Amino acid sequence: MHFSIPETEVRSGENGSTYVAYNIHVNGVLHCRVRYSQLLSLHEQIKKEYGSNVVPAFPPKKIFTLTPAEVEQRREQLEKYMQAVRQDPLLGASEMFNSFLRKAQQETQQIPTEEVALDICLSNGQKVTVNILTSDQTEDVLDAVATKLDLPDDLVGYFSLFLVREGVDGGLTFVRKLQDFELPYVSITSLRSSEFHILLRKSYWDMAYDGDVMDNRVGLNLLYAQTVSDIERGWILVNKDQHRQLKSLQEKGSKKEFIHLGQTLKYYGYIKFDPCITDFPEKGCQVIVSAGNNELNFHVKLPNEQMKEGSFKVTRMRCWRVTSSETTNWESSDAAALARVHLQTNKSSCASKVACLQTSSHHCTRNNVFSLAKHSFLLRLLSKSADPRTIHLHQFNYPNTQPAQG
């Protein structure tokens, strides 16, 4: 999740006084508005709990009213602080941090705590309605869904709730996996659009876990429905012979055998994202990004209509960084919805001058590269839900170092 504070607002407080509100965005969407004093209080609590040596630097208090330049400086400092806390394995996963964001989200959207009915979609198109509180966090809602489906407690962790957007053609766009720091009801209600739904889907990449899930009747049905849906949407590639075999198994009601055959197919268990536009190798090239099996897969349509494929193993990426910058004068009507991902590669590691991600062995093979004479490429991800800023994902290279763990 990418945290940012792209803007501030001057808002009215009690007794007609005004204050500066800092708008915290998650993946380009407003999550909450908070005051400096609220973040300072959170910082003091974290420092008390975990110690000063663990907590990142926090911008100091000012005695006098801040000038516009000082407000902007504080915004940048608070943004770096929030990013640092979120990226810390200990602090970012702490209940203290997550509960602060949940409370701030509910206060920002001004949704009172009350009982509501929430629809959760399944992969087969059916919906499960659960009765929850508006203040219930993601884990609580997931537990409620599992209870409604009779999914055993030991299998709940194999599934997650995803925020998706359904297009007019029925296509699905994955917006994000719902996190511990948000309230699902508030998240989907604040979007104010019937296009958005919450979808239950398996949350792991390793198909070895499928066996654990399939041992249970409910787990088997959920996994089967997801596999069928992914095939129907074209996310899993199937040839005519495989399609015939799958249809035969489906008619027999052989769900386990159907899944076992699906596991042998290309892109099984992957999530396919919306088409993007890349300026590499030429401007205007279309690229489709898929994620699964610990890799990022790219399909690039070249100007001559030829398709090129590249796969980058996530486990072999040395390091990366997410930064943001303003985007202006974009020629598309989707200018307010532009995000970019920039992957920068090591120029010295590949004598053949191909675009690739640096691997731990300092070796680039045709199996994981685009055979094109460039060292970097820029994916301009056009999405209606994206931040109107530019997000760059840089992969830096450090010779004679070991690949990042975890």
CATH number of the domain to which 160 belongs: 3.10.20.90
Task: Please tell me the predicted confidence (pLDDT) of residue 369.
Answer: 29
Give the mean pLDDT of the chain. 80
Query: Looking at 78, 109, 140, which one is the last position of a domain?
Result: 109
What span, in angstroms and rounded, lies between the C-alpha atoms of 291 and 317?
A: 14
Look up residue 69 and give its two tokens.
């330049």
The pLDDT value given to residue 122? 98
Q: Inform me whether the pLDDT recorded for 79 exceeds 80.
A: yes
305 vs 349, higher pLDDT: 305
Q: Give the mean model confidence (pLDDT) for residues 157-178.
A: 91
Taking the mean position of all CA atoms in its chain, how far away is CA 267?
19
361 burial (CB, 10 Å; 0-12 / 13-18 / 19+) is exposed
Q: Are residues 341 and 314 in the same domain?
A: yes
Residue 331 has pLDDT above 70, yes or no: no
Which residue stretches of 240-320 are H helix?
240-252, 255-263
- Does residue 24 register a pLDDT over 50? yes
Q: Looking at the structure, tell me whether residues 30 and 81 fall in a common domain.
A: yes
Q: What is the mean pLDDT of residues 152-180?
A: 93
Mean pLDDT computed over 278-288:
80
pLDDT confidence of residue 184: 98
**pLDDT band at residue 68 under the 50/70/90 scheme:** very high
What confidence score (pLDDT) does residue 303 get? 80
- What are the E-state strand segments in 70-195? 115-121, 127-133, 159-166, 172-177
pLDDT band of 378, cuts 50, 70, 90: very low
* Residues 287, 358 within the same domain: yes
pLDDT over 50 at 116, yes or no: yes
Asked whether residue 264 is assigned to any structural domain, the reply reads no
Same-domain check for residues 97 and 127: no
Which pLDDT band, with edges at 50, 70 and 90, does 312 fall under?
Answer: confident
Q: Supply the range of the domain harboring residue 19.
A: 3-109
Residues 15 and 83 in one domain: yes
pLDDT at residue 360 tops 60: no
Same domain, 14 and 81: yes
- Two tokens at 2? 């990418």
Count up the domains in the chain and report the number.
3
Indicate if the pLDDT at residue 320 is higher than 70: no
* Helix axes 240-252 and 255-263, enclosed angle (nearest 10): 160
